[in-house]
Amino acid sequence: MTSPRTAAPEAGTILLRRAGTDVVLTWSDHRIPAIAYWGPSFTHADAADIAAAAAAIATLPVKTTVDAVVPASLLPEHGTGWMGRPGLVGDREGRDWSTAFRLRALEATPARAALVARDETAALEVAIDVEIDEAGLLLLRAGVTNLGTAPYRVERLSLSVPVPADADELLDFTGLWARERVPRRGRIRDGIHLRENRGGRTGHESEFLTVVGRPGFDFRRGAVRGVHVGWSGNRSVAVERLVTGITTIAAGELLFPGEVVLGEGDRYDTPVVYASHGEGLDELAARFHARLRTRARHPRRPRPVTLNSWEAVYFAQDPAAMIALAEAGAAVGVERFVLDDGWFLGRRDAETSLGDWQVDPDVWPDGLGVLADHVHELGMEFGLWFEPEMISERSRLAAEHPEWILHVGDRLPPAARSQQVLDLTNPDAYGAIRDGVVALVEELSVDYIKWDHNRDLVEAGGADGRAATHGQTRAFYALIDELRERFPRLEIESCSSGGARIDMGVLERVDRVWPSDNLDPIERHRIHRYTGLLVPPEMMGAHIGATRTHSTGRTHELAFRALTALLGHFGAELDVRLLAEDERARLAGWIGLHRSLRALIHTGTTVNAEAHGGAVVLRGVVAPDRSRAVYTVAMLEVVASWPPGRIALPGLDPAARYRVRPLPGPDLLPRPPRVPAWWDGAELAHRGELLGALGVELPPLDPEQAFAIEVTAVD
């Protein structure tokens, strides 16, 4: 983030416009600008028109507060009369706790504004960057610099965006292990709806994405706006409504006391705050997908079908078994084999050995090269599991370097899985882990790392005794960036007890995420749907598990499990060796089907619909030119009426005509007693607008059954 050099006028208005998004910034009296409007682009209005319209409906002064109208600036200040949460909170031993920044410099292009403001009394400078990217996402960043000689302690630096007056409903998320991304909805009320995370990772219970909109919005309808903090450490998001009716969303990093203390000339920078808008959640999500797909390192080649060893064998590894598993995977069309936890020194369970990243000779007497070479000879890529940020209390590394464990005082934090957190802010610890991973990647020609992170950070203090979560998160990013720079072809998956580290900070760096350790298809339908608000299909690990799901105990047919995983980065997490011959053949058929569709799945636009209050869910991918689409439809529970009626096929070209048919699969459903005409291949062609509005009739399925629909333009 470079600082502007052009002097700022006392007052002004700027319109930023790109990719269907408008942002209007206004300011007066050299104050920090406010966002007067953010949302869909206007067709005819310019900046002055929009600013004038916004001013005409602005809140009037409240007679019990200051005389002037106090707008919600990008960085709200108590000193202006703002009665909500200030954007910057900090002090110098109790002084300089309130600010009155004056705009000094501002530069703007059609899609970006950069500004600098100073408070000479407090000896502070803030730089704020407002940008619309090529996907139409609004990106906000800020930095505060200490211009004084005395240290300045930063407690909070967050940026604010306005919420429209008609956006009265709030959606965010909660969850836990094996039940990630559980939606929570409610009305916005006076006061603060505050979500904070102190676990040092994004978290299972993460707010994930904070969405506001007109009451009743869904995936296809209702104007919505969403805010997300692109940061894999501690975060804070506040939806605040004042008694004046002004509502804002403020977002940034959550800092522990004393975690950021700025010496003279030092600067603290916020994570990027991402904001998206749309008519319905699908359009909001499409902007995040488009941004990730334009990354320089976004994978362009077909996403390899993956077989992971974890739920096949857990810790029971041996060379013969793993070679046989890899061979069984290759025979059904697997393209990447991943050896999960259990291969390194002394690792027989989850309670030892993290940090000892050497191949265990008791398990692999001839080394891992035996397996890696064989996997490559079979024509597959070789992947390896690591948990680089963690250290087991029972490990050689902990015995040799106990000072490398994040801790406070003379005590260790409470253990989780008998493990602690390695202090990556310590250059020696960072270098030891980096070198261990590098050596194995080079020796084994590792193509892919499954990067895990299986506990929250508790009392994460560094060598100086200060809170270290901020530095630990930065070090994690640096380690991934360094490995990617050294090994340009290496791919990395983010896993954290399943889906506990999925955010734009990590998504900007990795090739794939693991949404959940729960492979139950009932649960996965919800997890995929809401994880997909940020994550495009090609980055979302979606595996077929065993017939009996290990995390829930429920049993499901292969077709239901396969169709649940079809519209993602496809794979399997089961012991292929144990499958009967006919089931292996059907698994191979599903893999082949996915491979035939993945060019569409991994480049198209994701759409969603539902019927019967979510008892029937549809998820689809529509080609960029809308010439083709694939939808999966699942009946998750018994519906309230019979027959079940219709479901919409969204995202198609309204004017085009389409042929609709069941997608031929290796496991055809038993023929229902009554089927709609399109099910039997009737050559009917319907306009896209009718399919989007009226949909197609559903066959009467049993609960926990699914099918796929292929739609092809015939014009």
Which residues are the active-site residues? 452, 517
How far is Cα 688 from Cα 656, in angstroms, rounded to an integer?
Answer: 6
Q: What is the DSSP code (8-state) at residue 120?
A: T
Angle at 222 between CA 217 and CA 225, to 5 degrees: 90
Task: Please say whether the beta carbons of 334 and 380 come within 8 A.
Answer: yes
- Alpha-helical segments (H) within 339-488: 369-377, 396-400, 427-444, 469-486
Pick from 456, 325, 442, 464: which is nearest to 390 by CA? Answer: 456
Please name the amino acid found at residue 487.
F
Q: Give phi and psi for 13, each to the nearest 5.
A: -140, 135
Give the SS3 label for residue 53.
helix
**Which H or E element spans position 184?**
strand 179-187
How many helices (H) and strands (E) the chain has is answered by 13, 37
Question: Strand ranges (DSSP E) for 270-418?
Answer: 272-279, 306-308, 336-339, 381-386, 390-392
CB atoms within 10 A of CB 715: 11
**Any idea of the CA torsion for 709, 710, 714, 715, to the nearest 10 degrees?**
90
Give the SS3 label for residue 462.
coil
Cβ-count burial of 69 within 10 angstroms (0-12 exposed, 13-18 middle, 19+ buried)?
middle
Task: Please say whether the beta carbons of 708 and 632 come within 8 A.
Answer: yes
Question: Strand ranges (DSSP E) for 134-168?
Answer: 138-146, 152-162
**Which H or E element spans position 31?**
none
- Distance from the Cα of residue 443 to its chain's centroid: 32
Task: Please say whether the beta carbons of 433 and 401 come within 8 A.
Answer: no
Give the SS3 label for residue 431.
helix
Q: What number of residues does the chain have?
A: 715
How far is Cα 415 from Cα 390, in angstroms, rounded to an integer?
Answer: 11
Angle at 665 between CA 664 and CA 667, to 5 degrees: 130
Query: Token pair of 7, please?
Result: 């002097």
Residue with tokens 């505050």: 194
Residue with tokens 């309808």: 221
Angle at 329 between CA 381 and CA 541, to 5 degrees: 65
Query: Token pair of 141, please?
Result: 């960043």
CB atoms within 10 A of CB 689: 13
Query: Token pair of 455, please?
Result: 């506990």
How far is Cα 103 from Cα 126, in angstroms, rounded to an integer?
Answer: 9
- Distance from the Cα of residue 113 to its chain's centroid: 26
Question: Which are the contacts of 474, defined by CB distance < 8 A and separation ≥ 6?
Answer: none
Question: Which are the contacts of 641, defined by CB distance < 8 A and separation ≥ 6?
Answer: 612
Rg for the chain, CA atoms, rounded: 27
Task: Please say whether the beta carbons of 353 and 344 come within 8 A.
Answer: yes
